[in-house]
C-alpha cells in the first residue's frame, strides 16, 4: 500500500494541471484494467475522470469515490515521507489515501472480482467544486444502487452526517470614472460595492460553527490611485444550514444587488448534505469501524463540503469518513499510517457485505477478511 501511495503522491496533480492529473488517471486506469475491472474515461471542459466497475453497469451496488486533484504545494511535498507512525505529503490526507485503499482492495480480490458489484469513480476537479467531474457523471447516470463511499470528510473515524450547503456569487457594480481630485464628477463603483457588501453581511448577522455564514473572498476595483473606478467586482461565499435558508439567502442576495444597481452571477453551488447515521448502509459501515478500531467512531458535521453533495442531490446516501490526519492544504499535511491499513480492512469487509453477488464459500485461506488484514 505504501508503494501505491508513494506513486500517487509523486503526481503533482494540482487542480487544473491537466497533464499531471491525466498521468495519475492513466496509472489508476492501468492498475484496475490489469486486474479485470471495466474502465471508462471521460472529459468535461478539460477535466478528465474515470469510472471502473466489476460489472459493466452505470449503477453498481456500491460506488467508491475519490478525487485525484490537490491544492498547490512546493515540489518537495510531492515526495511521500513515512516516519512509521504518520505519512506526509501533498494529497496524503486530501485524498490520495482513499485511492490507495481502493486499489489495494481490488488487488486483494482480483481473482474473484466477478463475485462483486462495485465501482470506483475518480475525478480531478473536486477542489473547485466538482462540477466537471462528479456532477457531470451523476447527471449521466453513474450512481450506485445502494451507497457511495467518499472518504473526504469526517474526523478520525467519526462519520460526517451533515455538511453545510454552499453557493458562490460574483457581484459586479458599475460606476462612473473621473479624476481623483474631482470626485463630484464621477461615481465610485468601489464605494457603492462596499455599501452593498455591508448590507449583504446583515443577512447572516450571527456567524458561527452551526449557523449560516457569509465571507467576502475577493475584491477588485480601480486601475490607478487617482482615478475613480468605474467598475468593482467582489466574490462572496455563503454556507447554509438548511435548504430553506439556502434558497432564502440566494433570493435575498439577488434582491439586494438589484436594489443597489449591481448584478450577481451564481457559480459553484451545492445544497446542504445530510446523511442519516441510522441509514442501514451507513450504520453498517459504522459498525465495521467499531469492530476494526476497537471503539465507536462517532459522528461529526462539516463546515465545508465535498463531492458528496452531488450524490446527495439525487438521493444517494454517502459514507463520509476518514482515518486520523490533518493539515490538508497545508505544508504539514499528514495521515495516520495505521489508519490507512485500517481503512483497507474496513472497505474489504464492507464490500463483502454490501457488494458481493454470490454467497458461495471461497477457498480456504482466501476470505476477504484474511486478505484485508494482511499487511503488504
Q: DSSP class of residue 125?
A: -
Residues pairing with 119 in the sheet: 53, 63
Residue 285 contacts residue 322 (beta carbons within 8 Å): no
Q: Residue 111's pLDDT is what?
A: 93
**Nearest Cα residue to 330 out of 73, 99, 45:** 73
* Residue owning grid cell 490533518: 326
**How do the residues of the chain divide into helix, strand and coil, expressed in percent and rounded to 5?**
35, 25, 40
Write out the chain's pLDDT in tens, 376 residues: 999 999 999 999 999 999 999 999 999 999 999 999 999 999 999 999 999 999 999 999 999 999 999 999 999 999 999 999 999 999 999 999 999 999 999 999 999 999 999 999 999 999 988 999 999 999 999 999 999 999 999 989 999 999 888 889 999 999 999 999 999 999 999 999 999 999 999 999 988 888 999 999 999 999 999 999 999 999 999 999 988 999 999 999 999 999 999 999 998 788 888 899 999 999 999 999 999 999 999 999 887 778 998 998 899 999 999 999 999 889 999 999 999 999 999 999 999 999 999 865 444 333 444 544 443 3
Which H helix or E strand runs over 30? Answer: helix 18-34
Q: Residue 223's pLDDT is what?
A: 94
Q: Residue 375's pLDDT is what?
A: 37
In whole angstroms, give the CA distance from residue 317 to residue 336. 26
Q: Residue 303's pLDDT is what?
A: 76
* CA angle 350–274–65, rounded 5-degree value: 45
**Hey, what CATH topology would domain 165-270 get?**
Alpha-Beta Plaits (3.30.70)
Please tell me whether residue 232 adopts helix, strand or coil conformation. Answer: strand
Q: Residue 274's pLDDT is what?
A: 87
Q: Residue 359's pLDDT is what?
A: 65
Q: Residue 362's pLDDT is what?
A: 43
In whole angstroms, give the CA distance from residue 95 to residue 152. 7
Maximum CA extent, the chain? 88
At 254, list the grid cell: 439577488
CATH 3.40.630.10 intervals, the chain: 2-162+274-373
Parallel/antiparallel/unpaired status of strands 318-319 and 273-274: unpaired
Q: Please, what is the average pLDDT of the chain?
A: 93
Parallel/antiparallel/unpaired status of strands 263-270 and 81-82: unpaired
At 178, list the grid cell: 473621473
**Nearest Cα residue to 4 out of 77, 69, 98:** 98
Residue 344 contacts residue 373 (beta carbons within 8 Å): no
Which H helix or E strand runs over 147? Answer: strand 147-149
Residues pairing with 231 in the sheet: 174
In whole angstroms, give the CA distance from residue 318 to residue 54. 20
pTM of the predicted model, to two decimals? 0.85
**Nearest Cα residue to 292 out of 326, 340, 362:** 340
Residue 142 contacts residue 86 (beta carbons within 8 Å): no
Residue 30 φ/ψ, nearest 5 degrees: -60, -45
Q: Residue 3's pLDDT is what?
A: 97
Q: Residue 360's pLDDT is what?
A: 56
CATH 3.30.70.360 intervals, the chain: 165-270
CB proximity list for 98: less than 8 A, separation 6 or greater: 64, 66, 151, 152, 322, 343
In whole angstroms, give the CA distance from residue 304 to residue 270. 11
In whole angstroms, give the CA distance from residue 209 to residue 204. 13
| Tens digit of each residue's pLDDT (9 = 90 or more) over 37-82 | 999 999 999 999 999 999 999 999 999 999 999 999 999 999 999 9
Residue 7 contacts residue 103 (beta carbons within 8 Å): no
| Tens digit of each residue's pLDDT (9 = 90 or more) over 10-44 | 999 999 999 999 999 999 999 999 999 999 999 99
User: So what's the architecture of 2-162+274-373 in CATH?
Assistant: 3-Layer(aba) Sandwich (3.40)
Amino acid at each position: 500500500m505504501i508503494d501505491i501511495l508513494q506513486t500517487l503522491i509523486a503526481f503533482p496533480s494540482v487542480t487544473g494541471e491537466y497533464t499531471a492529473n491525466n498521468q495519475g488517471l492513466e496509472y489508476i486506469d492501468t492498475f484496475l484494467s490489469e486486474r479485470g475491472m471495466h474502465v471508462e474515461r471521460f472529459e468535461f471542459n478539460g477535466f478528465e475522470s474515470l469510472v471502473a466497475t466489476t460489472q459493466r453497469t452505470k449503477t453498481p451496488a456500491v460506488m467508491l469515490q475519490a478525487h485525484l486533484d490537490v491544492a498547490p504545494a512546493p515540489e518537495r511535498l510531492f515526495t511521500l515521507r513515512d516516519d512509521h507512525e504518520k505519512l506526509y505529503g501533498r494529497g496524503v490526507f486530501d485524498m490520495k489515501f482513499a485511492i490507495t485503499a481502493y486499489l489495494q482492495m481490488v488487488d486483494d480480490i482480483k481473482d474473484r472480482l466477478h463475485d462483486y458489484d462495485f465501482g470506483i469513480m475518480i475525478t480531478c476537479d473536486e477542489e473547485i467544486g466538482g462540477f466537471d467531474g462528479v456532477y457531470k457523471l451523476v447527471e449521466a447516470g453513474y450512481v450506485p444502487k445502494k451507497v457511495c463511499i467518499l472518504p473526504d470528510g469526517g474526523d478520525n473515524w467519526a462519520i460526517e452526517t451533515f455538511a453545510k450547503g454552499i453557493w458562490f456569487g460574483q457581484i459586479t457594480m458599475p460606476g462612473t470614472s473621473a479624476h481623483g481630485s474631482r470626485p463630484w464628477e464621477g461615481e465610485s463603483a468601489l464605494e457603492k460595492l462596499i455599501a452593498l457588501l455591508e448590507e449583504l453581511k446583515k443577512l447572516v448577522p450571527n456567524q458561527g460553527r452551526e449557523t449560516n455564514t457569509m465571507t467576502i473572498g475577493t475584491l477588485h476595483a480601480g486601475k490607478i490611485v487617482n482615478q475613480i473606478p468605474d467598475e468593482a467586482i467582489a466574490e462572496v461565499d455563503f454556507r447554509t444550514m438548511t435548504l430553506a435558508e439556502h434558497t432564502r439567502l440566494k433570493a435575498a442576495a439577488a434582491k439586494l444587488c438589484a436594489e443597489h444597481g449591481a448584478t450577481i452571477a451564481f457559480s459553484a453551488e451545492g445544497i446542504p448534505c445530510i446523511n442519516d447515521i441510522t441509514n442501514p448502509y451507513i450504520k453498517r459501515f459504522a459498525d465495521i469501524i467499531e469492530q476494526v478500531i476497537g471503539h465507536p467512531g462517532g459522528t461529526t458535521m462539516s463546515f465545508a463540503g465535498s463531492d458528496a453533495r452531488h450524490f446527495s442531490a439525487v438521493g444517494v446516501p454517502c459514507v463520509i469518513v476518514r482515518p486520523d490526519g490533518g493539515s490538508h492544504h497545508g505544508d504539514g499535511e499528514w495521515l495516520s499510517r495505521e489508519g490507512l491499513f485500517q481503512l483497507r480492512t474496513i472497505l474489504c469487509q464492507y464490500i463483502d457485505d454490501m457488494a458481493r453477488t454470490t454467497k458461495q464459500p471461497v477457498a480456504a485461506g482466501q476470505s476477504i477478511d484474511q486478505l484485508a488484514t494482511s499487511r503488504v
